[in-house]
Amino acid sequence: MAVNYRRCPVCGSKNSIKIIYGYPGPEIMEKAQAGELKLGGCCLFGDDPEYYCKDCESQWNKQQALDAAYRRIKVIKASISRYFRDRYNVEINLENRKVTVTYWDGGEEEITRKTIRQTTADKLPEQIKSVNLLFWKRRYVDPLTLDGTQWSAELLSDERTIKIYGSNQYPEEWDAFCRIISKVTGKSFR
C-alpha cells in the first residue's frame, strides 16, 4: 500500500501518534501519558482527526492524508507499447506544467511538447485520486500472453518513486486513467 497516513500533511513529519476517542481505560491512559497516543475526547463528529503531529501539532484524518499524498505527486509518467505496432510515452510535470508525448507507429517518432494551464495542473491530483492510482498493484501481468501490450505508470514525488508495470492485464480503472492522460496531453493515449 502506497499511502502512509501517519505522515503529517502540513510539515511532512512522520513523528505522529493516533488520536483515540471514547472514555479511556487504564492502558490507554498510560499510553497517552507516555505520549504514545493522544486522547480525542468522548464525542465524535464524523470527520474527526485520527492523527496528531508531535512536531507541528497538526491533526488530520485518513481522507486528508490521502489528498495530501496525491498532491505531493510531482511527475506522472505513463507508457503503452505494442510489439512492432506502436508506442506511447507521456510525461506530465506538475511543477513546471510541462508535458511531453512521444508517439511512434513504425515511422518517424512524433514528439509533442506543451505547457498545460495551471487550472489543469491543479485538477490533476483530484482526477488521479478518482482512479485510485495510489492503490494500484505494482504489477499486472497475464502470464499466458506473450508480446501483446506492455504498459507502465510512474509517480514521482520528493521522497519516492512508485513504478507500476503491466503486461496484457490492467487495473479496473485503466480506461479512465487513459482518458485523463489523453485529456491533459491533448493526444490520444490508449
Is residue 56 at the binding interface for Zn ion, with CB under 5 A as the rule?
Answer: yes
Is residue 4 at the binding interface for Zn ion, with CB under 5 A as the rule?
Answer: no
Q: How far is the CB of 4 from Zn ion (least distance, A)?
A: 13
DSSP state of 46: S
What is the rounded distance in angstroms from the CA atom of residue 174 to the CA atom of residue 164? Answer: 12
- Closer CB to Zn ion, 68 or 184, in the complex: 68
Q: Which stretch binds Zn ion (CB under 5 A): 5-13, 129-137, 147-155, 170-178?
A: 5-13
Residue of 114, 131, 124 whose CA lies nearest to 186: 114
- Closer CB to Zn ion, 10 or 162, in the complex: 10
Is residue 68 at the binding interface for Zn ion, with CB under 5 A as the rule?
Answer: no
> Which value, to the nearest 10 degrees, does the dihedral of the CA atoms of residues 80, 82, 86, 92 take?
10
Q: State which of positions 107-136 bind Zn ion (CB under 5 A).
A: none
What is the rounded distance in angstroms from the CA atom of residue 116 to the CA atom of residue 94? Answer: 9
Is residue 8 at the binding interface for Zn ion, with CB under 5 A as the rule?
Answer: yes
The site string for Zn ion over 70-109 (x = CB under 5 A, - otherwise) reads ----------------------------------------
Is residue 58 at the binding interface for Zn ion, with CB under 5 A as the rule?
Answer: yes
Is residue 14 at the binding interface for Zn ion, with CB under 5 A as the rule?
Answer: no
Q: Where are the beta strands (DSSP E) in the chain?
A: 16-20, 37-39, 51-53, 59-60, 75-82, 86-93, 98-104, 110-115, 139-141, 149-156, 161-167
